[in-house]
Structure 1
Amino acid sequence: MSSRRRLLLAAPLLLASSAMLAKAPKRRVIRIEARKFRFAPNVIELKAGEEVVLELTAIDFVHGFSLPDFNLRVDLVMGKPVRVTLKPEREGRFGFLCDNFCGSGHEEMAGTIVVKA
């Protein structure tokens, strides 16, 4: 098969692929900093069914990020952003916390994700 014929056969696939990529919705990125002894922001509002990317960065220590209601847990190494995708389907208030002991005040290092309709 000639290279011209192969190109003509592949063109519809390439066009379909690029059209699918163009239609893919952009996910909102929410940046969260973890530092002794807080997350910033510590309250995050989302819509039910909205897929977002949480980009977590530890500033001063190796922290943990745990969101038990969504079975989500990651380690945060200083200066290395970690990206996780979250798509909450139900409304409510869901707590997150640092689960890697980071010193006196660690027990206060928590936040809330508020999911609304």
Structure 2
Amino acid sequence: MFLHIGNNINIFLKDIVAIIDKNSLENSKDNNGYIKNLLKNDFLANENMDDIKTYIITCSSDNPRRKRKSGKKHFVYTSNISSATLMKRNKSIETRLEVSINGQ
């Protein structure tokens, strides 16, 4: 399953490690340093985002069919959609998946 994070970008749900609100990130010294380090080392997957509200950290699984730049596994995506909305979308996807698995 995928999570749509805006700007025509979809991310595999199983690759998502964290969905972090920009304001929460700025208040945490450790998380802010981690994100800045990833951005400094060119792990930003989508560029040219003006109104950043959320950072999404991903770690791709070993799937040879997916083409990633320079073999990197960790990426930071930015989204102009709030983290609360992204989490609601994620919850909605999980609920639909549970219903289809249980056959109801």
TM interval, shorter chain, is under 0.3
User: Which has the larger share of strand?
Assistant: 1
Give TM-score, length-normalised by structure 1. Answer: 0.18
Higher relative contact order (CA 8 A, sep 6+): 2
Q: Would you tell me which structure has more helix in proportion to its own residues?
A: 2
